[in-house]
Every structure is written in C-alpha cells, then in structure tokens.
Amino acid sequence: MTSTLFDKVWRAHVVRSAPGEPDLLYCDLHLLHEVSSPQAFDGLRAAGRGVRRPDLTLALEDHAVPTTGPLLDVIEQVSVLRRNCADFGIRLHSLGDPDQGIVHVVAPQLGLTRPGTTIVCGDSHTSTHGAFGALAFGIGTTEVEHVLATQTLWQYRPRTMAVEITGTPPPDVTAKDLILAVIAEVGVGGGIGHAVEYRGSAVTALSMEGRMTLCNMSIEFGARAGMIAPDEVTFAYLAATPSPPAVPDTWRSLRTDPGATFDRTVTIDGSAVRPYVTWGTTPAQAVPITATVPHPDAFTDPLARAAAESALRYMGLTPGTPMRDVPVDTVFVGSCTNGRIEDLRAAAAVLRGRRLADGVTMLIVPGSMRVREQAEREGLAAVFEAAGAEWRNSGCSMCVGLNADRLPPGRRSASTSNRNFEGRQGPGARTHLVSPPVAAATAVTGRLTSPSDLP
C-alpha cells in the first residue's frame, strides 16, 4: 500500500483507533508558553494529576515578554509559568537564559524538532516544525492539559493536500512570497480540514529557515498542519544543533511513496511569483508589490467583494493605488515566521550603507537570544543600528502585540509576521505582511518597496 508522508507519521503514532471516533495519538514533544498553559496546570492541580512526561515537555517565555528594558521586569503570566514549571519539573528557558526565545524558533535550533515526530503546542503556528517532516499542530488549552496528563491527544484524521510549487523562483522571491502566493490562490479557507505537504523543486531548493516559513503559515489558509519531506538539507541542519542526532534509515524513508494520492492538489508556478505584499486584513488579500490595490468590483463572489470593501475601509486604501505608493511609518522584522538568522541577514543586506526614511520606526526582534548573539557576532546588529533601527531582545513582540510593542490607531506597518487581522498589532493598527528584504527596503523609502526598486 502506498502512503503519503502524513500517512506514515500519523500511523506510527496511533495508540487507539475505532470506527467513528477520533484516533488517540502519542505526542513526542509538547511545547509550552506563558499564555495558553496556566489554565491547563490549574486543571492538573484540581484533579490531583502530575505531568506524564516532563522530559518530553519544554517551556519558553515568548508571547508577552518585553523586548526592551530590564529583562526581569516580568508580567504575571510569566511568573505563573515559572511557578508551574518548578512545581511540575518542566524544563523552562526564562528571560535572561541564552536559550530563551520564541518557542517555534528555539525548539528547532536546539535540535528537538526531528523528522517523523509528533509535536504539539498551545499556539496555532506549531505547524512550523513540519518543515522537518514532523507532524506538528496547535492545540487548545483543554488539549494542553490532556497532553500534560497523558502525553496523548484525541484527533480526527484530517484529509491530505499537496501544494506543489514548481519551477525556479526569481532571486528576489523568498519563502514568505511563495506562501503568500499560495494563500492568495487558495484563500483563507482553502486548507480547512487538511494536512498539507509542500512539494516541488521550489520547495526542495529552500533552506530549513525558508521551509519553516512556508510551514509556519499553513494555518493561515486553514490547514491543520504543513509538512515537508526530510532530506540532506534537513539532516545538515540537525547536524549543526547542540546534540546532533544520528540519521536513521527511517528518516530517509519519510517521503510520499510514488503513486500515493492526495485528497486535493494545488500547483503554483514558482517561477511566476514576485515579491508579495498584503493589502487587506487577511493573508489571502495579497498581490505582487508591482500591482495596485484591487477594486472590490473585481471580486465576483459577493462574500469576497464585501470582505474587500471592509478591508479597504479599515486599511484606509483607495482602489487603483499602486502598492509601491502606500506609505508606511513602522517596520517590524521578527516573529516565528521571519525571525531567524537567515531573515536577519536578508534584512541587513538591504540596510547596509543606508538609513531609514524620516519618520519611520523599525524594530528588529530576533527569534531567539541565540539568533541575537549570532547576529551580533556577524555584525548584523551594527548594520541595523547604523541604519537607525531598534535592536531588541527576543520575543513575539509586535506580531501579536501582547507586550508594549504595539502600533497606535491608524499607524501603518510593513511586518514580517504572519497575520494582518484588524487590531492584530494594536487597536486600529494597519498591517501589511511582507518578506524581510521588502521590509528593509520599505524602511529606507517610507513606502512599500522591493529591494530592486532601491537605487
């Protein structure tokens, strides 16, 4: 029987299966943070239960932590996480720890994300880890408690979907542009009920950082998970982690068998993709930066037309305006989507020898303190500061706006994060999703700009 990559990983983790019921899956790694875990620990205490496998559980302080100022100036959520981890014997990387950072950046760089494993976290962007051939997805707080208590999780088996990205993308096209092009094609609900496998020459040509960006945003078109078959690029990345694993033969067989079928297949010509930018309030409302703000009348579907009208009102944009003419006053480089060393290198390459435009604020927030340390060793931090950008400590920062890193009402950002919903970066804030190079070029001109537009 032929199987997809998803089939192989799912089947290997089923503890119990019965007709008409969800499968009970074993979880190889459980990741925690300060926002979605407090109630789960309260539930354990109320039931008199412990944590089943603290050795397979890792906690990070990331969502609401400050990225500037005293590192130990923590909020109540962080204090609660520290107390819970101490009480239940869970490994925690706190503020001030060299391995502190965003959970979906730290776990891979520590080598904890491995092919063929199941990974869960109370965060929707857990799909990031699928870049290694893992089955990884976000869970709710009640499910967090269940995994803490049993190291298992009830899940209905999703359908399968292949996203084939073919061809060779142009040099200025990044993984962020590829995934925005995919979401623009299929819509925010195009992956609902599916586990996605990214395939094709444009995918295998990506670095691990690029693959993580691709899988990270799977949830933005409704997919349950995103996966990429592991290969030599994967194994080389793992070999550079602190405790490099041996590569078993089973990892090399973690790929979709010839002849295996998917429930749905979408094909994108990667060679036709250009740098993308969002114009609206969902990641699907995106166009190439060379395009104009669309007119709602261009949408034949009444719901899409109404959504476009609402988005344009919120974003304060006029149909027909060239995207390159849209002014921006704030630029954010960071998040679990684009806060890795490769992303910072790309932004620094654009900023080197240039200055921010007058009136533009730029925040550079590394995805982990290890990334921050490496960026400083490589001289990237000096480039950012010379350009006039703010060099911050690690955290989710302006991606989610749970700390002081928020936009005032009416301000407009170019952001390398993953969501541009109304109020995502602050009440009334307007967000354009972009790649790190486009973010950096935009900071230089004060309007949405591709690096190729710079003199």
- How many CA atoms, within 13 angstroms, populate the side-chain half-sphere of residue 429? 26
pLDDT at 329 over 90: yes
pLDDT at 399 over 60: yes
pLDDT at 235 over 60: yes
Please tell me the distance from the alpha carbon of residue 182 to that of residue 400, in angstroms, as a whole number: 23
pLDDT at 274 over 80: yes
The pLDDT > 90 percentage for the chain reads 94
**Which DSSP helix (H) or strand (E) runs through 362?**
strand 361-364
Partnered with residue 227 across adjacent β-strands are 197
Q: Which two tokens stand for residue 26?
A: 């074993």
Are 179 and 188 spatial neighbours (Cβ–Cβ below 8 Å)? no
Confidence of residue 403 (pLDDT cuts 50, 70, 90): confident
pLDDT at 70: 63
Dump pLDDT digits (tens) for 56-98: 999 999 998 988 876 555 578 899 999 999 999 999 999 999 9
Short-list 93, 92, 147, CA closest to 119: 147
CA angle centred on 365, ends 362 and 368, rounded to 5°: 170
The model's pTM is: 0.96
Q: Which two tokens stand for residue 447?
A: 């309007």
Please tell me the distance from the alpha carbon of residue 74 to that of residue 116, in angstroms, as a whole number: 36
Q: Give the chain's mean pLDDT.
A: 96
Residue bearing the bigger pLDDT, 77 or 179 = 179
pLDDT at 389: 98
What one-character DSSP code corresponds to residue 220? G
Please tell me the distance from the alpha carbon of residue 345 to that of residue 342, in angstroms, as a whole number: 5
Strands 23-26 and 14-16: antiparallel
pLDDT, mean of residues 365-380: 98
The amino acid occupying position 419 is R
Confidence of residue 404 (pLDDT cuts 50, 70, 90): confident
Residue 299 phi, psi (nearest 5): -95, 120
Q: In sequence order, what DSSP letters do the residues of 47-59 get, joined into one string?
A: HT---S-GGGEEE
What one-character DSSP code corresponds to residue 14? E
Dump pLDDT digits (tens) for 409-436: 999 999 999 999 999 999 999 999 999 9
The amino acid occupying position 266 is V
The amino acid occupying position 89 is G
Helix, strand or coil, per DSSP, at residue 124: helix
What one-character DSSP code corresponds to residue 161? E
Are 268 and 276 spatial neighbours (Cβ–Cβ below 8 Å)? no
pLDDT at 309 over 90: yes
Dump pLDDT digits (tens) for 15-56: 999 999 999 999 999 999 999 999 999 999 999 999 999 999
pLDDT at 360 over 70: yes
Strands 118-121 and 29-32: parallel
Short-list 270, 267, 282, 275, CA closest to 184: 282
Dump pLDDT digits (tens) for 282-305: 999 999 999 999 999 999 999 999
Short-list 198, 194, 192, 223, CA closest to 210: 198
pLDDT at 136 over 60: yes
